Structure 1
Amino acid sequence: MKNKTWFVTGASKGLGLTLVKKLLADGYQVAATSRDVKSLEDIIGSRNENFLPLQVVLTDETSLEKAIKETVEHFGTIDVAVNNAGYGLTGALEELTDAESRQNFDVNVFGSLNVIRKVLPVMRRQSSGHIFNISSIGGFTGAFPGFGIYCATKFAVQGFTESLAAEIKPFGIHATVVLPGYFRTNFLESSSLNVPARQMEEYKNVREVEELHQQSINGNQPGDPLKAAEVMINAALDAEPPVMLFLGADAYKLAEEKIKQVEKDLQKYRKLATDTAF
């Protein structure tokens, strides 16, 4: 795998940055994207035989197509693509405007779909490849006041990754949705976590959750992003990688709680809900 090429979006901060640094340290070939290529070069380094920094706007298909073409020209192929770029959005559903909600979907959902459409022709030609879509434990359980739209974007990532895995299996390509818990990155800082322009005083529970994340959880997350990157690299080496990759003890705990709730709800209405045939 050391001569394999990884294509990583949102590489100038967070888990993406940690992953790119780890991959380069391990000798992999890496194409990394950011909205600001200079910041990427300042943090990681300039272009060389193993590292290709690229300025990309995920919502612009022409920009992405150019980046994919440059990557293939530079390295010859793309073996692993990581849809990491995205941002958080808090706010009650009633507070958030249509524009604020759609923008979160544009980046977190449609940006990833743009990458998938552009990278799959490369992977299909070589009959191999692996696509990682970074979701969140909030893409598996949405019981967080104030994170409804963000969770909705990540539930979407969960859903289309499951379908993608089935669609591309005949081509010898894998797809994995990554569901991290809290990892100590800058995700909860203002640069990555947006708040609604209009805040309603009625939603005290939402403000409490926002303050908890920004003031208490930020900087104290239990997860080590380097260890998360190592797990992803191991999954890329797996001949039969998981479709769902949960990361962190907290993610496992929340997932297990959700599964128990689903089982409880299934049983509560089983007789009535299954006795619905003609």
Structure 2
Amino acid sequence: MKKKIWFITGASKGLGLILIKTLLKKGYAVAATSRSVSELQKAIGEKNDNFLPLEVDLTDESSVEEAINQTAAYFGNIDVIVNNAGYGLTGALEELTDAEARQNFEINVFGSLNVIRTAMPLLRKQKSGHIFNIASIGGFSGAFPGFGIYCATKFAVHGFSESLAAEVKPFGIHVTIVSPGYFRTSFLEASSLGVPQNPIQEYQNVREIQDTHQNSINGIQQGDPEKAAREMIAVAGQEQPPLHLFLGQDAYDLAEAKIALIKADLEKMHATATATAFDV
């Protein structure tokens, strides 16, 4: 069976880089985007004809379109798209500026939408494809003080992905929302985690959470990114892949806690909250 062709954004580090290396070892063809082709080539190492590095600005639709067209021309088509590019942002909602919040949405949300919008004509024409949108457990449970904007971007990914799955199902295209917990990547390092330009001293709980993520959790995360990459590749091979893919025991625990909270709130308010229709 012909191996699928992958297109991966945000590929020069973190889960994206691990996924590319795993795919190439298994003989898959991979196109990968980064803001710097030289960094991407250096990270991958030796030249590989199955690897197409692309310098792309995901906030620029013409740049994204050129990358999709180059990939299709080089490999013949695209089977799997992974919208992986994104970065974390700490800070209380009050202390983050409008510019800081909007920039997080530009990359984490609108960058993925630019890729989807550009790739869909190709996927529709071939009547097949699989789109992985990398969200976060923070896009399902927002109970993380100091990560409100980041969680909002990932909640947005969950929302548009669920709608996308329903929209593209008639074309034979699958969508999977990937919600990782804590994996041992560069995500919590300074290059991937933004901090507020104007911190407010009174938010001690936010500073503590920020310090914990930067100095205590970073480097000892229990999640193995190589195992996460292998799980995604396995899901891409399924005939009926899941819409929701939670990765890591911590992600499962937080998801189950959120579901239990919603169920408790539903039950608590059921009698009065459902009695809101017009009287007949």
User: Which residue of 1 is the match for residue 228 of structure 2?
Assistant: 228
User: Which residue of 2 is the match for residue 162 of structure 1?
Assistant: 162
- Whole-Å Cα distance in 1 between the matches of residues 123 and 45 of structure 2? 27
In percent, how many aligned pairs have the same letter? Answer: 68
Distance 1:47 1:64, change over 3 A: farther
User: Which residue of 1 is the match for residue 218 of structure 2?
Assistant: 218
- TM-score, structure 2 normalization: 0.98
Question: How many angstroms does 1:268 deviate by?
Answer: 1.0
Distance 1:72 1:216, change over 3 A: same
Q: What's the secondary structure of 1:159's corresponding residue?
A: helix
- TM-score, structure 1 normalization: 0.99
Structure 1 stretches of 4+ with a deviation exceeding 3 A read: 45-48
Maintained 8 Å contact 1:2/1:27: no
User: Which residue of 2 is the match for residue 174 of structure 1?
Assistant: 174
Whether 2:105 is the aligned partner of 1:105: answer yes
The amino acid of 2:124's aligned partner reads: R
User: Which residue of 2 is the match for residue 238 of structure 1?
Assistant: 238
User: Which residue of 2 is the match for residue 4 of structure 1?
Assistant: 4
The amino acid of 2:114's aligned partner reads: N
Question: How many angstroms does 1:4 deviate by?
Answer: 1.5
Maintained 8 Å contact 1:9/1:16: yes
Maintained 8 Å contact 1:47/1:53: no
- Whole-Å Cα distance in 1 between the matches of residues 33 and 97 of structure 2? 29
User: Which residue of 2 is the match for residue 68 of structure 1?
Assistant: 68
Q: Which runs of 5+ in 2 are unaligned?
A: none
User: Which residue of 2 is the match for residue 195 of structure 1?
Assistant: 195
- Whole-Å Cα distance in 2 between the matches of residues 223 and 49 of structure 1? 31
Q: What's the secondary structure of 1:161's corresponding residue?
A: helix
Q: What's the secondary structure of 1:183's corresponding residue?
A: coil
Q: What's the secondary structure of 1:269's corresponding residue?
A: helix
The amino acid of 2:194's aligned partner reads: N
User: Which residue of 2 is the match for residue 17 of structure 1?
Assistant: 17
Question: How many angstroms does 1:46 deviate by?
Answer: 6.2
User: Which residue of 2 is the match for residue 120 of structure 1?
Assistant: 120
- Whole-Å Cα distance in 2 between the matches of residues 22 and 257 of structure 1? 32
The amino acid of 1:94's aligned partner reads: E
User: Which residue of 2 is the match for residue 257 of structure 1?
Assistant: 257
Question: How many angstroms does 1:263 deviate by?
Answer: 0.4
The amino acid of 1:210's aligned partner reads: Q
Question: How many angstroms does 1:49 deviate by?
Answer: 2.5
User: Which residue of 2 is the match for residue 184 of structure 1?
Assistant: 184
The amino acid of 2:153's aligned partner reads: T
TM alignment of 1:18-37, pairs within 5 A? 18-37=18-37
Whether 2:209 is the aligned partner of 1:209: answer yes
Give the paired residue count.
278
Q: Which runs of 5+ in 1 are unaligned?
A: none
